[in-house]
Amino acid sequence: MATRMTEVAAFAGVSVATVGRVLNNKPGIAKATRDLVLTALDALGYERPPALRGERAGLVGLVVPDLLNPIFPAFVEAVIAGLVKQGLMPVLCTRTADGVSEANYIKLLLNHQVTGIIFIGGSFADAGPEYCRQLRDLALPMVLINPADVNGLPSVCVDDGAAVDRALDHLTGLGHERIGLILGPVGHVPSARKLAAYRAYRERSGADGHRPALVVHTAFSMEGGRSAAERLFDDGATALVCASDAMALGAVRGAHKRGLRVPDDVSVVGFDDSPYMIATDPALTTIRQPVRAMGAAAVESLRAQIDGHAAGGGELSFEPELIVRASTGIPRP
């Protein structure tokens, strides 16, 4: 029992005495503290005392497009850690191959009187206009992480323009001039911001006047990256900046298919710094999103809304970081 209370106290960030008062249902404990202790019990797999089994921490939906792209599980882990420490119970909702969609999850979450929702990636837009409108009308606390469109809701985003600038600075510094850009679908806002930064960079460097832009829009997948890369290789690209690590890995595969070596013949830069990118062959140079800081900011924004503070409609932007590994090098003469 003492070991259990110590673990719960450490997880919740409170004293062992406070845990004891909550478990014994003593008065004088703030609701937020009580929720922290109860959520810690649940998260650690300990059974609640009988008198407390009817209580439930506030449910928060965490809606994710899929779990195949490794950056999404990374965000899920960061957000869940923050929610639990706030005394909130996360409910993971991800699209499935057999047709369970974002709209299905939103309906279920609303039926369970969810306290708030955090949407990652394009999951809010993918729910469809009817449910997006319903959520707005309900004034439900919501936060979006790297949303696919501009919607006026509280959002936490990486600075896509700065990401492209860092990648282009790195590649031009190595001597590359024919640099291609692989983006997500047309209309995807983060991709549009990357494209705007790419065009501005070319204009500043004077490349617009004598070299055509090398840009392909495709699906966020390895196959999309592979096919886009092959098109750009045909156009003479010696380096590629990709809008996701999955695309970048596909681009490396496309290079190998063409008999090109990375980075001896072509250089490839990814985006996200997903887990295991250091273990690919070659290890991937990429733009790192500050996942933990962004996840913490999203939880903080949601908590503020739940506590009654007005939701601001602006974006909170985070600076990315260039991580140089083995997939980029000096172009061949």
Is residue 91 over pLDDT 80?
A: yes
241-264: per-residue pLDDT in tens? 999 999 999 999 999 999 999 999
- Name the domain boundary from 11, 28, 52: 52
Is residue 167 over pLDDT 70?
A: yes
CA distances from 330 to 11, 170, 171, 177, 256 (A): 48, 10, 8, 11, 18
Q: Which amino acid is at 271?
A: F
> If you ran DSSP here, which 8-state letter would residue 209 be given?
G
- What mean pLDDT comes out for the span 256-281? 96
4-45: per-residue pLDDT in tens? 888 888 888 889 888 888 888 887 888 778 878 887 877 777
Is 332 within a domain?
Answer: no
Query: Could you tell me if 174 and 78 lie in one domain?
Result: no
Task: Report the chain's mean pLDDT, rounded to a whole number.
Answer: 90
- What mean pLDDT comes out for the span 192-219? 88
CA distance 333 to 264: 11
Q: Report the percent of the chain where pLDDT is more than 90.
A: 61
Query: Could you tell me if 164 and 122 lie in one domain?
Result: no
Query: Could you tell me if 171 and 273 lie in one domain?
Result: yes
Is 137 within a domain?
Answer: yes
Alpha-carbon 306 to chain mean position: 22
Following DSSP, what letter does each residue of 82-133 receive, concatenated? Answer: HHHHTTEEEEEEE--TTS--HHHHHHHHHHTT-SEEEEETTHHHHT-HHHHH
Local confidence band at 55 (pLDDT 50, 70, 90 cut-offs): low
Query: Could you tell me if 214 and 250 lie in one domain?
Result: yes
Following DSSP, what letter does each residue of 57-76 receive, concatenated? Answer: PEEEEEEES-SSSTHHHHHH
Is 324 within a domain?
Answer: no
Is 326 within a domain?
Answer: no
Query: Could you tell me if 79 and 130 lie in one domain?
Result: yes
Local confidence band at 63 (pLDDT 50, 70, 90 cut-offs): very high
List phi, psi (to 5°) of 269: -120, 130
Local confidence band at 290 (pLDDT 50, 70, 90 cut-offs): very high
Is residue 53 over pLDDT 70?
A: no
Query: Could you tell me if 238 and 147 lie in one domain?
Result: no
Is residue 288 over pLDDT 90?
A: yes
Is residue 208 over pLDDT 70?
A: no
Query: Could you tell me if 198 and 226 lie in one domain?
Result: yes
Most confidently modeled of 135-149, 195-209, 259-273? 259-273
pLDDT at residue number 221? 94
Is residue 271 over pLDDT 70?
A: yes
> If you ran DSSP here, which 8-state letter would residue 211 be given?
S
CA distance 127 to 63: 10
Query: Could you tell me if 131 and 173 lie in one domain?
Result: no
Following DSSP, what letter does each residue of 147-168 receive, concatenated? Answer: -SS--SS-EEEE-HHHHHHHHH
pLDDT at residue number 54? 56
Residue-number span of the structural domain to which 212 is assigned: 160-289
pLDDT at residue number 85? 86
Is 328 within a domain?
Answer: no
- The total of structural domains in the chain comes to 3
- What mean pLDDT comes out for the span 140-164? 94
* CATH number of the domain encompassing residue 43: 1.10.260.40
Is residue 307 over pLDDT 70?
A: yes
- Contact between 61 and 118 (Cβ < 8 Å): yes
Alpha-carbon 246 to chain mean position: 14
Local confidence band at 98 (pLDDT 50, 70, 90 cut-offs): confident
Local confidence band at 308 (pLDDT 50, 70, 90 cut-offs): confident
Query: Could you tell me if 154 and 296 lie in one domain?
Result: yes
The structure tokens listed for 324 are 């140089």
Local confidence band at 207 (pLDDT 50, 70, 90 cut-offs): confident
Query: Could you tell me if 165 and 259 lie in one domain?
Result: yes
CA distance 102 to 250: 27
Query: Could you tell me if 217 and 69 lie in one domain?
Result: no
pLDDT at residue number 147? 95
Is 78 within a domain?
Answer: yes
CA distance 177 to 331: 9
> If you ran DSSP here, which 8-state letter would residue 54 be given?
T
pLDDT at residue number 34? 81
Is 102 within a domain?
Answer: yes
Place of tokens 């930064």: 197
Is 325 within a domain?
Answer: no
Local confidence band at 73 (pLDDT 50, 70, 90 cut-offs): very high
Is residue 92 over pLDDT 80?
A: yes
44 or 225, higher pLDDT = 225
Question: Considering the entire predicted model, what is its pTM?
Answer: 0.83
* CATH number of the domain encompassing residue 192: 3.40.50.2300
pLDDT at residue number 56? 55
Local confidence band at 49 (pLDDT 50, 70, 90 cut-offs): confident
Query: Could you tell me if 121 and 173 lie in one domain?
Result: no
